[in-house]
Amino acid sequence: MIVHSLSGPSGTGKSTSAIQFAHEKQIEAIIDDGLLIINGVKVAGTSAKFEKNTITAVRRAIFQEDEHKQQVLDALKAHEVKSLLIIGTSDKMTKKITKRLEIEPIAQYHRIEDIRSEREIQMAKFIRSTQGKHVMPIPFKQVEQNFFKRFIQRGFDILSKNKEKLGETTIVQPDFHHQVIDISKNVYFDLLKYILEQYGVIAKIDSIQFTMKGYSQTIHLSFYVSSPVNYDLMEKMRGLQQLICEQFRQHFEFEPSAIEIQIKGII
Protein backbone atom coordinates (compact mmCIF):
# COMPACT_ATOMS: atom_id res chain seq x y z
CA MET A 1 0.00 0.00 0.00
CA ILE A 2 1.27 3.49 -0.92
CA VAL A 3 0.46 5.84 1.97
CA HIS A 4 0.11 9.62 1.59
CA SER A 5 -0.14 12.20 4.38
CA LEU A 6 -2.12 15.46 4.19
CA SER A 7 -1.55 17.72 7.19
CA GLY A 8 -2.42 21.23 8.33
CA PRO A 9 -3.81 23.06 11.37
CA SER A 10 -7.36 22.44 12.50
CA GLY A 11 -9.98 24.37 10.53
CA THR A 12 -7.92 24.98 7.36
CA GLY A 13 -10.16 22.96 5.03
CA LYS A 14 -8.42 19.58 4.82
CA SER A 15 -11.65 17.57 4.86
CA THR A 16 -13.21 19.91 2.28
CA SER A 17 -10.32 19.32 -0.14
CA ALA A 18 -9.57 15.67 0.58
CA ILE A 19 -11.78 13.83 -1.93
CA GLN A 20 -10.89 16.05 -4.89
CA PHE A 21 -7.19 15.91 -3.97
CA ALA A 22 -7.29 12.10 -3.66
CA HIS A 23 -9.00 11.86 -7.05
CA GLU A 24 -6.34 14.04 -8.72
CA LYS A 25 -3.53 11.96 -7.16
CA GLN A 26 -5.34 8.68 -7.98
CA ILE A 27 -5.48 7.71 -4.30
CA GLU A 28 -8.16 5.09 -3.63
CA ALA A 29 -9.06 5.67 0.02
CA ILE A 30 -9.01 8.35 2.73
CA ILE A 31 -8.71 8.16 6.50
CA ASP A 32 -10.12 11.31 8.10
CA ASP A 33 -11.03 11.78 11.77
CA GLY A 34 -11.44 8.05 12.37
CA LEU A 35 -13.37 7.29 9.18
CA LEU A 36 -12.30 5.17 6.20
CA ILE A 37 -13.76 6.71 3.03
CA ILE A 38 -13.70 5.09 -0.41
CA ASN A 39 -15.25 6.70 -3.51
CA GLY A 40 -16.72 9.46 -1.35
CA VAL A 41 -18.58 7.02 0.92
CA LYS A 42 -17.86 5.92 4.49
CA VAL A 43 -17.09 2.19 4.54
CA ALA A 44 -15.78 1.80 8.10
CA GLY A 45 -14.91 3.60 11.32
CA THR A 46 -16.53 6.17 13.58
CA SER A 47 -15.91 9.90 13.27
CA ALA A 48 -14.08 11.81 15.98
CA LYS A 49 -16.70 14.53 15.46
CA PHE A 50 -19.21 12.25 17.23
CA GLU A 51 -17.27 12.58 20.49
CA LYS A 52 -18.37 14.75 23.41
CA ASN A 53 -14.99 16.34 24.20
CA THR A 54 -11.67 17.07 22.52
CA ILE A 55 -9.72 14.40 24.44
CA THR A 56 -11.93 11.53 23.30
CA ALA A 57 -12.07 13.09 19.80
CA VAL A 58 -8.27 12.92 19.50
CA ARG A 59 -8.24 9.34 20.78
CA ARG A 60 -10.86 8.42 18.19
CA ALA A 61 -8.93 10.12 15.37
CA ILE A 62 -5.74 8.16 16.11
CA PHE A 63 -7.53 4.80 16.59
CA GLN A 64 -6.74 4.23 20.25
CA GLU A 65 -9.61 1.74 20.63
CA ASP A 66 -8.72 -1.77 19.40
CA GLU A 67 -12.20 -2.52 18.05
CA HIS A 68 -12.23 0.71 16.02
CA LYS A 69 -8.72 0.00 14.70
CA GLN A 70 -9.60 -3.56 13.67
CA GLN A 71 -12.79 -2.50 11.90
CA VAL A 72 -10.82 -0.12 9.64
CA LEU A 73 -8.02 -2.64 9.04
CA ASP A 74 -10.54 -5.32 8.01
CA ALA A 75 -12.17 -2.87 5.58
CA LEU A 76 -8.80 -1.90 4.06
CA LYS A 77 -8.08 -5.58 3.46
CA ALA A 78 -11.58 -6.40 2.17
CA HIS A 79 -11.44 -3.54 -0.37
CA GLU A 80 -7.83 -4.40 -1.31
CA VAL A 81 -6.81 -0.76 -0.95
CA LYS A 82 -3.53 -0.06 -2.75
CA SER A 83 -3.21 3.66 -1.97
CA LEU A 84 -4.34 5.62 1.07
CA LEU A 85 -4.48 9.29 2.11
CA ILE A 86 -4.26 9.92 5.87
CA ILE A 87 -5.39 13.34 7.10
CA GLY A 88 -4.12 14.92 10.31
CA THR A 89 -3.25 18.20 11.98
CA SER A 90 0.49 17.44 11.68
CA ASP A 91 2.95 14.97 10.18
CA LYS A 92 3.45 13.64 13.70
CA MET A 93 -0.25 12.78 13.91
CA THR A 94 -0.40 11.02 10.52
CA LYS A 95 2.73 9.03 11.41
CA LYS A 96 1.07 8.03 14.70
CA ILE A 97 -1.99 6.79 12.79
CA THR A 98 0.11 4.65 10.40
CA LYS A 99 1.98 3.18 13.37
CA ARG A 100 -1.22 2.47 15.27
CA LEU A 101 -2.83 0.81 12.23
CA GLU A 102 0.41 -1.13 11.56
CA ILE A 103 0.42 -0.24 7.87
CA GLU A 104 3.23 0.82 5.56
CA PRO A 105 5.15 4.02 6.42
CA ILE A 106 4.18 7.27 4.71
CA ALA A 107 5.67 7.58 1.24
CA GLN A 108 4.59 11.14 0.39
CA TYR A 109 3.83 14.15 2.58
CA HIS A 110 1.49 16.95 1.47
CA ARG A 111 0.60 20.20 3.22
CA ILE A 112 -2.75 22.00 3.05
CA GLU A 113 -0.86 25.06 1.70
CA ASP A 114 0.07 22.95 -1.35
CA ILE A 115 -3.54 22.36 -2.39
CA ARG A 116 -5.51 25.39 -1.12
CA SER A 117 -4.91 29.08 -1.70
CA GLU A 118 -4.13 31.41 1.20
CA ARG A 119 -7.54 33.05 0.77
CA GLU A 120 -9.34 29.68 0.95
CA ILE A 121 -7.43 28.74 4.12
CA GLN A 122 -8.19 32.13 5.70
CA MET A 123 -11.88 31.72 4.93
CA ALA A 124 -11.99 28.18 6.30
CA LYS A 125 -10.42 29.38 9.56
CA PHE A 126 -12.89 32.28 9.76
CA ILE A 127 -15.90 29.99 9.32
CA ARG A 128 -14.55 27.59 11.95
CA SER A 129 -13.96 30.37 14.51
CA THR A 130 -17.20 32.32 13.91
CA GLN A 131 -19.65 29.49 13.17
CA GLY A 132 -18.00 26.40 14.65
CA LYS A 133 -18.75 24.44 11.47
CA HIS A 134 -16.82 21.27 10.65
CA VAL A 135 -16.94 19.49 7.30
CA MET A 136 -17.29 15.72 6.99
CA PRO A 137 -16.45 14.43 3.48
CA ILE A 138 -19.31 11.91 3.47
CA PRO A 139 -22.98 12.14 2.39
CA PHE A 140 -25.60 13.59 4.72
CA LYS A 141 -27.45 10.25 4.85
CA GLN A 142 -24.40 8.60 6.46
CA VAL A 143 -24.30 11.01 9.41
CA GLU A 144 -26.53 10.12 12.34
CA GLN A 145 -28.55 13.13 13.51
CA ASN A 146 -28.74 12.01 17.14
CA PHE A 147 -24.99 12.48 17.61
CA PHE A 148 -25.28 16.26 17.16
CA LYS A 149 -27.49 18.27 19.48
CA ARG A 150 -26.96 21.63 17.83
CA PHE A 151 -26.29 21.64 14.13
CA ILE A 152 -26.19 19.38 11.07
CA GLN A 153 -26.93 20.19 7.42
CA ARG A 154 -26.21 19.03 3.89
CA GLY A 155 -22.98 20.43 2.51
CA PHE A 156 -22.12 20.51 -1.17
CA ASP A 157 -21.21 18.15 -3.99
CA ILE A 158 -17.50 17.58 -4.60
CA LEU A 159 -16.74 17.75 -8.31
CA SER A 160 -13.71 16.92 -10.40
CA LYS A 161 -12.24 19.43 -12.86
CA ASN A 162 -14.42 17.74 -15.50
CA LYS A 163 -17.52 18.34 -13.32
CA GLU A 164 -17.79 14.64 -12.46
CA LYS A 165 -19.36 14.08 -9.04
CA LEU A 166 -16.81 12.55 -6.67
CA GLY A 167 -18.69 12.79 -3.39
CA GLU A 168 -20.61 15.00 -0.98
CA THR A 169 -20.00 16.83 2.28
CA THR A 170 -22.01 17.21 5.45
CA ILE A 171 -21.58 20.23 7.73
CA VAL A 172 -21.80 19.65 11.47
CA GLN A 173 -21.11 21.45 14.72
CA PRO A 174 -19.66 18.86 17.12
CA ASP A 175 -20.74 18.94 20.74
CA PHE A 176 -17.14 19.57 21.84
CA HIS A 177 -16.91 22.80 19.83
CA HIS A 178 -18.09 25.55 22.19
CA GLN A 179 -15.86 28.53 21.36
CA VAL A 180 -17.60 30.57 18.65
CA ILE A 181 -17.10 34.27 17.89
CA ASP A 182 -20.29 36.04 16.89
CA ILE A 183 -19.81 38.95 14.44
CA SER A 184 -22.85 41.09 13.65
CA LYS A 185 -23.39 41.93 9.98
CA ASN A 186 -23.45 45.59 11.00
CA VAL A 187 -19.74 45.34 11.79
CA TYR A 188 -18.94 44.69 8.13
CA PHE A 189 -21.17 47.57 7.01
CA ASP A 190 -19.67 49.97 9.55
CA LEU A 191 -16.13 49.14 8.42
CA LEU A 192 -17.02 49.57 4.73
CA LYS A 193 -18.80 52.86 5.42
CA TYR A 194 -15.80 54.15 7.37
CA ILE A 195 -13.38 53.20 4.55
CA LEU A 196 -15.53 54.96 1.92
CA GLU A 197 -15.95 58.09 4.04
CA GLN A 198 -12.18 58.34 4.54
CA TYR A 199 -11.34 57.68 0.88
CA GLY A 200 -10.62 61.07 -0.67
CA VAL A 201 -12.36 60.88 -4.06
CA ILE A 202 -15.80 59.66 -2.90
CA ALA A 203 -18.35 62.47 -2.66
CA LYS A 204 -21.52 60.56 -1.68
CA ILE A 205 -22.30 56.92 -0.80
CA ASP A 206 -25.34 55.50 -2.59
CA SER A 207 -25.45 51.93 -1.22
CA ILE A 208 -23.35 49.27 0.50
CA GLN A 209 -24.20 45.58 0.12
CA PHE A 210 -22.40 42.66 1.76
CA THR A 211 -23.40 39.04 1.20
CA MET A 212 -21.78 35.98 2.74
CA LYS A 213 -22.69 32.52 1.46
CA GLY A 214 -20.47 29.65 2.53
CA TYR A 215 -16.95 30.31 1.33
CA SER A 216 -18.04 33.20 -0.91
CA GLN A 217 -18.33 36.84 0.22
CA THR A 218 -19.31 39.61 -2.19
CA ILE A 219 -19.17 43.36 -1.55
CA HIS A 220 -21.12 45.68 -3.85
CA LEU A 221 -20.51 49.43 -3.50
CA SER A 222 -22.36 52.19 -5.27
CA PHE A 223 -21.31 55.83 -4.92
CA TYR A 224 -20.62 59.21 -6.57
CA VAL A 225 -17.08 60.47 -7.09
CA SER A 226 -15.94 64.03 -6.54
CA SER A 227 -15.37 66.63 -9.24
CA PRO A 228 -13.13 67.62 -10.93
CA VAL A 229 -11.90 64.21 -12.07
CA ASN A 230 -8.27 65.26 -12.44
CA TYR A 231 -7.08 61.86 -11.20
CA ASP A 232 -6.78 58.37 -12.68
CA LEU A 233 -10.24 57.00 -11.82
CA MET A 234 -9.43 53.34 -12.48
CA GLU A 235 -6.27 53.54 -10.41
CA LYS A 236 -8.24 55.06 -7.51
CA MET A 237 -10.88 52.30 -7.71
CA ARG A 238 -8.25 49.55 -7.73
CA GLY A 239 -6.65 51.28 -4.74
CA LEU A 240 -10.02 51.22 -2.96
CA GLN A 241 -10.41 47.48 -3.60
CA GLN A 242 -6.92 46.86 -2.24
CA LEU A 243 -7.60 48.97 0.85
CA ILE A 244 -10.79 47.02 1.59
CA CYS A 245 -8.89 43.72 1.24
CA GLU A 246 -6.20 44.94 3.64
CA GLN A 247 -8.75 46.13 6.20
CA PHE A 248 -10.70 42.85 6.06
CA ARG A 249 -7.48 40.88 6.51
CA GLN A 250 -6.55 43.05 9.50
CA HIS A 251 -9.93 42.90 11.26
CA PHE A 252 -11.41 39.54 10.17
CA GLU A 253 -8.38 37.59 8.83
CA PHE A 254 -9.94 36.89 5.42
CA GLU A 255 -10.29 38.65 2.07
CA PRO A 256 -13.64 39.08 0.28
CA SER A 257 -14.16 36.92 -2.81
CA ALA A 258 -15.28 39.88 -4.91
CA ILE A 259 -15.51 43.67 -4.54
CA GLU A 260 -17.85 45.14 -7.16
CA ILE A 261 -17.88 48.91 -7.63
CA GLN A 262 -20.50 50.95 -9.42
CA ILE A 263 -19.89 54.68 -9.98
CA LYS A 264 -23.26 56.42 -10.15
CA GLY A 265 -21.96 59.79 -11.27
CA ILE A 266 -19.88 62.86 -10.45
CA ILE A 267 -20.65 65.49 -7.82
- At 248, give phi and psi (nearest 5°): -70, -40
Q: At what angle do helices 233-252 and 185-198 cross, to 10 degrees?
A: 140
Contact (CB, 8 A) for 62 and 28: no
Outline where 46-145 has alpha helix (H). 54-61, 66-78, 91-101, 112-115, 118-131
Below-70 pLDDT ranges, the chain: 144-151, 177-179, 214
Residue whose C-alpha is closest to residue 226's, from 196, 246, 251, 191: 196
Output the pTM of the full model.
Answer: 0.74
DSSP 135-154: EESS-GGGS-GGG-SSEEEE
Q: What is the pLDDT of residues 136-188, one digit of tens each?
A: 999 888 886 655 555 678 888 888 888 889 989 888 877 776 667 778 889 99
Q: What is the pLDDT of residue 227?
A: 93
CATH code for the structural domain at 185-266: 3.30.70.1350
Q: What is the pLDDT of residue 143?
A: 82
Contact (CB, 8 A) for 9 and 91: no
Domain ranges in the chain are 2-173, 185-266
Q: What is the pLDDT of residue 171?
A: 86
SS (H, E, C) 183-230: CCHHHHHHHHHHHHHHCCCEEEEEEEEEEEECCEEEEEEEEEECCCCC
- Cβ-in-10-Å burial (0-12, 13-18, 19+) of 105 comes to exposed
Q: What is the pLDDT of residue 35?
A: 96
Q: What is the pLDDT of residue 51?
A: 85
Query: What is residue 160's DSSP assignment?
Result: -
Three-state DSSP state, 75: helix
Q: What is the pLDDT of residue 141?
A: 86
